[in-house]
A = this chain, B = another copy of it.
């Protein structure tokens, strides 16, 4: 894969598309679709997609699973020199894991205004008091990364509305409607 990419942006796009593929795997399994890949040199050494419901683990975010995968593949908890690509801005736990693993560079797709801890709520990647700092880039394939989440939540809302409607039908329209008949 030497000289495969003419520039950093082309390289970043390629790996972010792989992260999006990971996110799609999560969506197929009815998990909030976030995907991550970790790259060392030109090699993908870690992959992960959100599996919180499947594994019933609070830590089973895409980033944490990819960090675990990469560490096991390298046989080291230190992932210095690696770049982590993820579709959504990481939460507090995941930025913490990224810092613990000494990841050198983080590239993410779209912001998470409610829980993101790299740009939105906190800027944990650049705190001089912590023992590691991250280079950060974001906004790459932002529209695609956000769209996969929007589609997922739209479908979820549709399902919930449909389930509620079925529940009301089964009850003969619910207490309120019954009284109106």
**Chain B residues in 8 Å Cβ range of A78:** 58
Interface class of chain A by DSSP: loop
Partner of A115, one of B72, B92, B115, B130: B130
Chain B residue nearest to A55 (CB atoms) is B77
Interface size of A in residues (CB-CB distance below 8 Å) = 40
**Chain B residues in 8 Å Cβ range of A71:** 56-58
A23 interface residue (CB < 8 Å to B): no
B-binding residues in A (CB < 8 A):
52-53, 55-61, 64, 67-68, 71-72, 75-79, 91-97, 99-102, 114-115, 117, 121-122, 124, 127, 129-131
For the complex with contacts A58-B102, A93-B93, 9 further pairs of A-B residues with Cβ separation under 8 Å are A56-B77, A57-B72, A58-B79, A58-B97, A59-B100, A60-B77, A96-B97, A96-B117, A114-B129
